[in-house]
Amino acid sequence: MIDYMEEYRHWMDSPALSESEWQELDRIGGDELEIKSRFFAPLEFGTAGLRGIMGMGLNRMNRHVIRHATQAFASVIIEEGEEAMKKGVIICYDCRENSELFARAAASVMAANGIFVRIFDAMRPTPELSFAIRSFGAAAGINITASHNPREYNGYKVYWADGAQLPPKHAQAIADAMVRIDIFTGIKRMDFGEAVAAGLIQTIGAETDEAFLKNVLAQSIDREAVARVADKFKIVYTPFHGAGYKLVPEALRRLGIKNIIPVPQQMVIDGSFPTVKSPNPEEPAGFHLAIDLAKKENCDLIIGTDPDSDRVGIMVRDDKGEYVTVSGNQTGVLLLDYIITARKRLGTLPENAAAVKTIVTTEMAREVAQQNGVHIDDTFTGFKFMAEKVAEYEKTNSYSYIMAYEESYGYMIGDYVRDKDAVTASMLIAEMAAYYFGKGMTLLHALDSLFEKYGYYAEKTLNLVMPGIDGLENMRKLMARLRENPPAEISGVKVLRERDYASGKIIVPGLGFVDKTHISGSNVLYFELEDDTSFIVRPSGTEPKIKVYILVSGNDKEECTQKIDKYVAFAQALK
């Protein structure tokens, strides 16, 4: 256990602090609770890297924490040998406050360790970093972003040579190295300009954009469908002040979409996100300006990408002229069906086609795949796990993946990225919407037709937020309680089986351990209920909250809605 007062004094005594940084800490000198919140423990380094509120302190995101993590990451790359150091790292950043500062700090530490750095000349979408790592043959990558988190946050995402986020063993190696390295005296540093002059840091930009966009556009299946409606079909687009502002509209233009109407206030790059409470395309409130513009311009589709442009959310006009959210699960099902049927129609669907989803993503995707003769696999939440599955397909030459997705608005298509990609997904969503527009249908009509064809499904995700110093402990206690005293029934419905993905045990109430799960090692509890509902509980890997997923099916929409409503109260009572 860290002595937070001693750690606070260690920071106050360090000559590495600037005058303004020292003053920030000096101002809290008489506030022990604030000191404790900043110094009670370091930010936890996991497979998603680091994420936290910006500010001075061990449990905050600042340039010293960035340098510390980078020095540890550098030691892991150095252990890989001289060739890995020459291949180097690629560094990217988003629109958030301090993102460019943190990116340059990371580049300087890598260069001081003799590791070659390519850094983007301005902010870029996360998927372009994944592409660049694979394209340049780099050893690793770093992205300074907190994705869709609130404005107070920033983060440090780490990637390996395959373009996917770090596998657990490398993340653990970095975490272990951070324990050994002093945050101030253990860091190698070099002036950024001197590193550029020495050839240790190189800037990349427009050429990489072009190569990336060429790959994105290659995923288009039926451009004729777009051309047929291009004069009438309209899209409103918002990047939520972030990194999608340039490449998403460009990809749509190159696809042949003529009427792309950006939300002007949100095309302004601003890490304080002045027009939204949270820059998260999962939250409908963020789309208020886009909805106003879509109504004014009589548009058919709204597309919104988060600040680092790896997630995409959509809204569609209903028969009453109102704009309705299409969930991540539903968008994924629409895309999967569109990719399969369009490629079948054009004769480009591989015989060994496969799709990948996570264990918390709708089972409707399985129905779509299986009814079309497409293989489908489940992985844990996170694109690093889906990337591993795709790599396994390639290695064994068993399947050709056509799409991977998770319910939280992330979609991966194409072999040039190994992370969720809102640029490619936005382009394909636009093509799909244009195709249905040509048939006199919106994506809502299309979704209804899929329910008729594949059956009725509905999903709801609840976030049990547990902030503050006690948050992590409360999350741990909740998961422990569910393991020690698992419910025999939920909302009056019998639990048939419990899958504990941490241990890999499948447990039947009254019988105990009966089988093993196909994957294990993740803190997830999955309850299978008698009415075919899945009730799933897992701690978030990036935010202080427990996520509860309710996945239902039924004979019609009304039955699905009733089932969801029945289980929500039980989920909320868990906290």
Catalytically active residues, by annotation: 147
DSSP state of 527: E
Pairing of strands 545-554, 456-465: antiparallel
Distance in angstroms (rounded) separating the CA atoms of residues 18 and 76: 29
Residue 395 backbone class (left: φ over 0; alpha: ψ -120 to 50; beta: rest): alpha
Helical segments of 455-546, H only? 471-484
First CA to last CA distance, the chain: 26
Would you say 394 and 386 are in contact if contact means Cβ atoms under 8 Å apart? no
Distance of CA 93 to the CA centre of its chain: 15
Would you say 431 and 225 are in contact if contact means Cβ atoms under 8 Å apart? yes
Distance in angstroms (rounded) separating the CA atoms of residues 521 and 519: 7
Read off the amino acid at residue 35: I
Partner residues linked to 357 by β-bridges: 378, 405
Angle at Cα 553 formed by Cα 552 and Cα 555, nearest 5°?
Answer: 145
Partner residues linked to 490 by β-bridges: 493
**What token pair was written down for 276?**
């939204």
Nearest CA to 392 among 518, 218, 526, 505? 518
Nearest CA to 410 among 381, 375, 447? 381
DSSP state of 255: H
